[in-house]
Amino acid sequence: MTSEPTSEPTSGSNRGTGLGDTGFDGLLETMRALRTPVTGCPWDLVQTYDTLRGTLLEESHEAMEALASGETPELIEELGDLLLQVVFAAQIGRDEGTFTIADVIDFLNRKLVRRHPHVFGDAQAHTASEGIGQWEKVKAAERADKGQQDKSMLDGVPKAMPALAYANAVLGRARRAGFDWDNPDVIFDKIGEELRELATEASGKRQEEEFGDVLLAAVGAAVRMGIDPEQALLGANRRFYGRFTHVERGARERDTTIADMGTDEKLALWESAKSAE
């Protein structure tokens, strides 16, 4: 959610000017009024690209949760909050005279058309993978046009992304480029191989590297299976939370603590929590 409500006019001079009208134009007018010097909102007026970064990340995560929940009212609200960040940044650009939301929309539309020659041109794509292949071919041509033909297709993935999301993105791009196992079952053998290598490392930096290889191999399996590793881990976290709190309740009911319970007793509570799911 935004740090400060931005859906209502903030001064008398802005009232009665059509603010609050439905539609995209109404949203843009509301944002313009909030950023109008003197009569606008003091909080909105001091925002910059830098201050929006944290909010954009937060809203992205909230939108991801809404997508996972599938709850329509929540999804509408969170997608709106995410859209607000785009409109807000575009209004800052307009205030500074560098670009407008129209530039953003026009650039996006032209890119979508250009990267879908199988829809808007003569190219052919009959499967999702073939469609992605067309997208990657056009992107490669774009890099060549910019004199960046030697630039890796992985360079477009921000290295500042969370490690799990970055791994998912780069492994996905590598797979679309054809960097994949011929036999899909090999990925599970690779996970086992990395686990065995981890087991042979007692401690130190090398152990950390081997553990990273295990995680990367697991993400590779997720990419191969069409699983979003972030969502998979979120689900695992929720299940762990539910099972652990069940064990905690069991300990309280026995007037003891988890630390003082026997291993068999803890495992029995854990298994009962799994059964209840």
Nearest in space to 84 (alpha carbons), one of 10, 24, 37, 41: 24
Average pLDDT, the chain: 88
* Residues 65, 56, 215: CA angle, nearest 5 degrees: 55
Mean pLDDT value across residues 16-43? 85
Lowest-pLDDT choice from 15-19, 54-58, 122-126, 186-190: 15-19
pLDDT bracket for residue 24 (50, 70, 90): very high
CATH 1.10.287.1080 fits 12-111, yes or no: yes
Lowest-pLDDT choice from 92-96, 134-138, 171-175, 258-262: 134-138
- Is residue 194 within 8 Å of 217, Cβ to Cβ? yes
pLDDT bracket for residue 19 (50, 70, 90): low
Question: Mind listing the pLDDT tens digit for each residue in 116-171?
Answer: 999 999 999 999 878 888 888 888 888 888 888 788 889 889 888 889 999 999 99
State whether the Cα torsion 177-183-229-78 is positive or negative. positive
Q: Where are the alpha helices (DSSP H) in 3-127?
A: 24-34, 42-45, 49-69, 72-96, 101-114, 117-120
pLDDT of residue 195: 95
pLDDT of residue 243: 95
- Is residue 265 within 8 Å of 234, Cβ to Cβ? no
CA dihedral 238, 241, 246, 252 (to 10 degrees): -160
Question: Mind listing the pLDDT tens digit for each residue in 160-199?
Answer: 888 999 999 999 989 888 888 888 889 999 999 999 999 9
Nearest in space to 156 (alpha carbons), one of 209, 191, 123, 115: 115
Gap between the Cα atoms of 56 and 64, Å rounded: 12
Share of the chain above pLDDT 70, in %: 92
pLDDT of residue 160: 84
pLDDT bracket for residue 277 (50, 70, 90): confident
Gap between the Cα atoms of 53 and 59, Å rounded: 10
pLDDT bracket for residue 8 (50, 70, 90): very low
